[in-house]
Amino acid sequence: MSEQTNDSEHDTAFDSDHFRTVLGHFPTGVTVVSGLAEDGTPHGFTIGSFTSVSLDPPLVGFLPQLDSATWQAMASSGSFCVNVLSNKQSDLCWKFAKSGNDDSRFDDVDWHAAPSGSPVLDRAVAWIDCTVESVYDMGDHHFVLGAVTALDADADHNGLPPEPLLFFKGTLGGFAAEG
Ligand SMILES: Cc1cc2nc3c(=O)[nH]c(=O)nc-3n(C[C@H](O)[C@H](O)[C@H](O)COP(=O)(O)O)c2cc1C
């Protein structure tokens, strides 16, 4: 049985570069998790660790680094919105992953407010608005558990079906149905 821990005394036969390389072989979708700071300014960061947790009650989660400036800025609002990026939004993936959490991440980005007030990025594949249910510390990350309060997947993609953005081995790509 594993237990929650923050220590770094795990004996492993591999280093963190190898861990990162192997885990990079697991493809993920790409989201921008957004929220508002106390002064009402929008914040957001690129997150691949988004996951659905529970249907009843509806819960989702994601894992920001313990020292994440973006999470610290938005945490006190008690809510966040997950934006699932489309394969036309690779520029937003890199823009919201750039270190240094200043307001410029939202420059030239079209967005509107979710019911919580958190930003919904225009033309994202889907958005999921949440209130923070719990925050657990796990190793060098938090696990933020959110109760879903509103969600939709009705963005305008110029009449075309939305296509998600995928991340694999450090690069971005698209989804190809195989059956
Ligand atoms: C595809 C992709 C997925 C990412 N997923 C995560 C993640 O799940 N958790 C995390 O803490 N950082 C993740 N990052 C890195 C953050 O986006 C990046 O460190 C960002 O600068 C964090 O903002 P902050 O420094 O203001 O906290 C990801 C980056 C990319 C490009």
34: Cβ below 6 Å to ligand 1? no
172: Cβ below 6 Å to ligand 1? no
Q: How many domains does the chain have?
A: 1
Q: Using the mean position of ligand 1's atoms as its centre, give its distance from the Cα of residue 179 in Å.
A: 32
Domain that holds residue 33: 27-152
Q: What is the pLDDT of residue 9?
A: 63
Residues of the chain with confidence (pLDDT) below 50: 1-7
Assess if residue 157 is contained within a domain. no
Please give the model's pTM, rounded to 2 decimal places: 0.93
Assess if residue 20 is contained within a domain. no
Q: What is the pLDDT of residue 158?
A: 79
Assess if residue 145 is contained within a domain. yes
Assess if residue 179 is contained within a domain. no
> What ligand 1 atom has the least distance to the C-alpha of 45?
17
Q: What is the pLDDT of residue 4?
A: 45
Assess if residue 124 is contained within a domain. yes
Assess if residue 175 is contained within a domain. no
Alpha carbons 27 and 105: distance in angstroms, whole number? 25
Assess if residue 167 is contained within a domain. no
Report the CATH number that the domain containing residue 52 is assigned in CATH. 2.30.110.10
Instruction: Note whether 30 and 85 are within 8 A (CB).
Output: yes
